[in-house]
Amino acid sequence: MDRLDRLELFVRIVEGGSFARAARELRVARSSATQAIQALERETGVRLLARTTRHVAPTPEGVEFHRRARRILAEVEDALGRFAGSPSGHLRIEAPGLLTRTFLAPRLPEFLARHPNLTLSFSQGDRLADIVREGVDCAIRAGRPQDSSLRMRRLGELPEITCASPAYLARHGTPRHVDDLEGHRMVGFVSSRTGDVLPLEFVVDGRTCTRALPATVATDNSDTAAALALQGLGLVQAPRYRFAEDLARGALVEVLPGSPPEAMPLNALHAGDRFVSRRLEAFLDWAKSCFAGLA
């Protein structure tokens, strides 16, 4: 194997967590894969992978080497692709499931028809992936990112609402103003960054104010928070699209529509290297169009 082949093998091992899988994907013998990684470690003079009988993971030096190796491979692929027409290769996207199903999946056939040499995989959840360590090309997230080492592309803004179930409002009354929230409860949403329950947020006369209501139950998962609100356990805030069907069928009711939460910025986050591959540029441009006109 030449140096580029060894780099690709190393990247696949790190991102797949398996020597055997990487060897199968590249159609090389497991013994050849082992020898290739040993050669890389001799060349770099450091241990790149920590191995056990069941697990393989990059060492701290391996994490940095993986970041650089991915950039080198992307640049080579991009250089070749510029003379081959359409961008090609594979994209790993991390995004919440409902957001993917609502905005991206319906238009995905259009994107793939435009770029037939691309393939994509989506991993989904509320947790922000470690983009570099996990080999994710970009993560789509609502909110204000805390990691300044990542590059950010603004995709749009998600209008937010406050709502509750009819059963909850029948018990506690419907607030007409933010000052009417005394005696109300909320479904607590736990910040993945701080571990604290976030207060409710409202924009009143152009200014943002917060209210920390008692929470009988709290969660760090947005799907669970929505399910708890449907069970009448308190007020909940989230992007409007999340509750569109529930609002339409009357399972939830919007409250305080004149004082909504501040719209949530929606961003695509990717590694902070200066180089962005053509395939990622194509995806980011298309994703931005999927969220156009939301605010």
Q: Is the dihedral of CA 9, 119, 101, 152 positive or negative?
A: positive
Model confidence over 163-212: pLDDT tens digits? 999 999 999 999 999 999 999 999 999 987 788 999 999 999 889 999 99
Q: Express as a percent the part of the chain with pLDDT over 70.
A: 90
Higher local confidence (pLDDT), 201 or 136: 201
pLDDT the model gives residue 102:
92
- Inform me whether the pLDDT recorded for 60 exceeds 80: yes
Q: Which residue is associated with the tokens 């793939």?
A: 112
Q: Express as a percent the part of the chain with pLDDT over 90.
A: 53
Which amino acid is located at 56 in the chain? V
Model confidence over 67-118: pLDDT tens digits? 888 888 877 877 776 666 678 778 889 998 889 999 999 999 999 999 998 8
pLDDT the model gives residue 68:
87
- Inform me whether the pLDDT recorded for 129 exceeds 70: no
Nearest alpha-carbon partner for 93 in 278, 222, 291, 284: 284
Round to whole Å and give the CA distance between 192 and 201.
18
Q: Mean pLDDT check: name the lowest of 1-10, 116-125, 161-170, 220-229.
A: 116-125
Nearest alpha-carbon partner for 134 in 36, 16, 285: 16
Domains and CATH numbers, the chain: 1-84 (1.10.10.10), 85-156+264-295 (3.40.190.10), 160-262 (3.40.190.10)
Secondary structure (DSSP) of 160-194? EEEEE-HHHHHHH---SSGGGGTT--B-EEB-TTT
Q: Mean pLDDT check: name the lowest of 77-86, 107-116, 125-134, 276-285.
A: 125-134
The average confidence (pLDDT) of the chain is 87
